[in-house]
């Protein structure tokens, strides 16, 4: 029955029983004695009353009140979680509402479970990646130390060299652990941004100098798109923005063109923001890989082949820092032509 409720159900049952009784009374009295319509009406009325009220009472008491209890539980659960709830009086639509609430609740739980499953896969990948990245330097160190202990220490041909290699592996491990610490701090929002106004041109020049030796070793060159003799003031946490510039410029050293590698830095005035672009003339990133470069530990196929050092955390850190500033970072690239990373900062 559509929109069934205790009153309708009781009414139906009472009418059915009264009809059945009347028919039986009619047949019996018609066959065996006098048929008395008044007696039948009084009887029907009584019967209708008894059946109607007893049915209604039973339904309400045992079925409807139980459903109301479920509804109350849902209502309280929602209220405890601080969700918006509409308090309805008990009425004919209670069952439909309970049904609706249960459906919504089920849908929400399903979404929560899906998210938990995704997190689980992510956590597993993350652990796998950390293990993979730390494994190489640890086993290298073990190999060098064992060789030194097995007599290599007295061999002047290898002892110094092996200690140097050990130190390199330890540096690698420290760099990974530091990157992980940075990411973890950024993700748990343990970092409070200390925003100041500063000149982004000056900061970029300082980072150019900081990376100069590294760049020269790899035959790379940094330059500004324009002269930039005037300061460009921005607002942000200087220490973290410096980290962004270091990570992006370091990438352009690593993945820039092998010969005549040039990295250009440009600034664009965008009313409230400054857009900073870092463009290299490297081998670029393919369209199917570009969407993933900001993921933790992601490294492109060609990067893995050509550049051994690298964990794939640099750009994930960049993204976190820029987003913590409520700004955006993106990348565009063409294979064989080069890559541009662009991020915005609030004008100071």
Token pair of 100 as six digits: 């609706």
Which residues from 310-339 bind Mg ion, rule CB under 5 A? 314
Nearer to ligand ATP, 265 or 315 (CB): 315
Nearer to Mg ion, 25 or 298 (CB): 298
Strand partners, 13: none
- Whats the size of the chain, residue-wise? 348
- Number of amino acids touching Mg ion (CB under 5 A): 2
CB of 339 vs ligand ATP, minimal distance in Å: 4
Read off the tokens for 267: 């600034």
Q: How far is the CB of 312 from Mg ion (least distance, A)?
A: 7
Selection from ligand ATP, Mg ion, none that 48 binds (CB < 5 to 8 A by kind) is: none
Residue with tokens 């500033």: 325
Q: Which does 327 bind (CB under 5 to 8 A by kind): ligand ATP, Mg ion, none?
A: none
Q: Which is nearer to ligand ATP, 234 or 285 (CB)?
A: 285
What residue ranges bind ligand ATP (CB under 6 A)?
A: 179, 247, 251-252, 254-255, 280, 282, 284-285, 293, 298-300, 303, 310-316, 339
Of all residues in the shown chain, the one whose CB is closest to Mg ion is: 314
Binding mask 243-282 for Mg ion (x = CB under 5 A): --------x-------------------------------
Residues β-bridged to residue 341:
278, 331
Contact indicator for 343, 337 with CB cutoff of 8 Å? no
Q: Is 82 exposed, middle or buried (0-12, 13-18, 19+ CB in 10 A)?
A: exposed
Q: State the sign of the Cα–Cα–Cα–Cα dihedral 45, 50, 56, 59.
A: negative
Nearest approach, Cβ of residue 299 and ligand ATP (Å):
3
- Asked if residue 214 lies in contact with residue 253, where contact means CB atoms within 8 angstroms, the answer is yes
Determine how β-strand 220-224 pairs with β-strand 261-270: parallel
Binding site for Mg ion (CB under 5 A): 251, 314
């Amino acid at each position: 029955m559509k929109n069934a409720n205790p009153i309708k159900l009781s009414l139906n049952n009472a009418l059915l029983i009264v009809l059945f009784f009347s028919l039986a009374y009619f047949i019996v009295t018609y066959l065996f004695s006098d048929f008395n319509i008044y007696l039948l009406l009084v009887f029907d009325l009584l019967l209708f009353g008894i059946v109607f009220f007893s049915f209604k009472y039973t339904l309400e008491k045992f079925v409807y009140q139980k459903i109301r209890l479920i509804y109350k539980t849902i209502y309280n659960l929602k209220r405890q979680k601080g969700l918006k709830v509409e308090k309805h009086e008990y009425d004919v639509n209670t069952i439909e509402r309970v049904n609706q609430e249960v459906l919504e609740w089920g849908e929400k739980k399903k979404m929560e479970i899906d998210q938990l499953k995704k997190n689980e896969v992510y956590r597993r990948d993350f652990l796998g990646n950390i293990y993979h990245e730390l494994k190489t330097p640890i086993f290298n160190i073990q190999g060098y130390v064992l060789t030194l202990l097995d007599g290599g220490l007295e061999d002047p041909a290898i002892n110094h060299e092996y200690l140097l290699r050990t130190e390199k592996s330890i540096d690698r491990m420290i760099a990974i652990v530091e990157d992980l610490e940075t990411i973890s701090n950024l993700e748990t929002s343990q970092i409070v941004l200390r925003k100041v106004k500063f000149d982004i041109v000056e900061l970029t020049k300082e980072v150019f100098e900081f990376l100069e030796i590294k760049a020269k070793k790899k035959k790379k060159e940094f330059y500004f798109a324009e002269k930039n003799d005037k300061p460009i003031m921005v607002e942000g946490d200087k220490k973290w923005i410096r980290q962004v510039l270091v990570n992006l410029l370091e990438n352009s050293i690593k993945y820039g063109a092998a010969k005549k590698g040039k990295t250009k830095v440009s600034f664009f005035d965008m009313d409230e923001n400054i857009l900073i672009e870092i463009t290299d003339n490297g081998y670029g990133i393919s369209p199917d890989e570009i969407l993933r470069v900001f993921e933790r530990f992601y490294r492109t196929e060609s990067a893995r082949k050509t550049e051994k050092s690298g964990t794939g955390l640099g750009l994930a850190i960049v993204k976190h820092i820029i987003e913590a500033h409520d700004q955006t970072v993106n990348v565009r690239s063409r294979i064989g032509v080069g890559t541009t990373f662009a991020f915005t900062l609030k004008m100071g």
